[in-house]
C-alpha cells in the first residue's frame, strides 16, 4: 500500500520554479550553473569532482536550451507553416 510522506519533511514535489541551469566550461571541465530567471544572475555552480570531466546536474531544475537547438526548432516550425500554406 502506498504511503504519503509526512508533511514538513522538506521534500520537493515537481520542478523548481523560476530557476534554470546551463552548461559552462571551466578549466577544460564542464560544470552546471544555476540561474535565477527573473534577474538572470548565476546563483550556484556545480563543478566536477576530482578526476572527473563533467559535473552532475542540479535536481529538479529545468535545463536551458542552447542557441543551436532553438534555431533548429524555429526552422522546423517555419517549415511546417510553409507546408500547411502550400497544402491549402
Share of the chain above pLDDT 70, in %: 93
Q: Where are the beta strands (DSSP E) in the chain?
A: 16-26, 29-36, 42-46, 61-63
Is the pLDDT at 4 greater than 70, yes or no?
no
CA 52 – CA 15 distance, rounded (Å): 27
- What's the DSSP call for residue 50? T
pLDDT at position 34 is 92
Of residues 49, 46, 41, 74, the one with CA closest to residue 58: 46
pLDDT digits (tens, 9 = 90+) for 50-82: 888 778 999 889 988 877 777 788 888 888 888
CA R_g for the chain: 19
Cell numbers at residue 59, please? 535536481
Amino acid at each position: 500500500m502506498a504511503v504519503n510522506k509526512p508533511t514538513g519533511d522538506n521534500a520537493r514535489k515537481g520542478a523548481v520554479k523560476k530557476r534554470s541551469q546551463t552548461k559552462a566550461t571551466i578549466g577544460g571541465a564542464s560544470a552546471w550553473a544555476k540561474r535565477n530567471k527573473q534577474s538572470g544572475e548565476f546563483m550556484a555552480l556545480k563543478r566536477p569532482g576530482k578526476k572527473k570531466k563533467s559535473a552532475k546536474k542540479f535536481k529538479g531544475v529545468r535545463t536551458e536550451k542552447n542557441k543551436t537547438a532553438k534555431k533548429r526548432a524555429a526552422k522546423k516550425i517555419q517549415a511546417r507553416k510553409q507546408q500547411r500554406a502550400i497544402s491549402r
